[in-house]
Structure 1
């Protein structure tokens, strides 16, 4: 029984942050244009993670794109600024996006 509870606690401690950040992405309407694993209007988060994998400053760059928008990074469709996301939330979202794996 103790082993089962320990295993469950370990799973929840790993899954909870990922789910919380996905919930944040949903609450900030990020999922209207993005998906974790497929392109919608914008790129899939897994594609973004692959593009920026191992790059220094990637989280800061993505956080800035989230707040201020971007243009020409993924093609002709611009990403509008998301004024409802503050700097802490943008950084949390950027780190979550970068943690997505193919």
Structure 2
């Protein structure tokens, strides 16, 4: 008798793990879309020979900075540097958005 006899296949450990992974990816995709909707503009700048900076300007006036660095200048690629700098800026924005959400949830509600 195998371990899945009598169980719904969607309840097996591998299926559950796969469903959780898929749900997490969907949530991350939704979160990413929500974060990207906050962005009014993005600018990139190469600093020195190895560092790329990304400045995100949000619709509410907040500015968020991300960066990417590489060890060997011989492997520098502007597009890849911008990609990772943008990803870093999105991670910073995710932190800020999380803090704002926490603060707003603690704000007393008007009871008028």
**TM-score of the superposition, structure 2-length normalised?**
0.32
**TM-score of the superposition, structure 1-length normalised?**
0.34
Larger radius of gyration: 2
Higher helix proportion (structure 1 or 2): 1
Query: Larger RCO: Structure 1 or Structure 2 (Cα < 8 Å, ≥ 6 residues apart)?
Result: 1
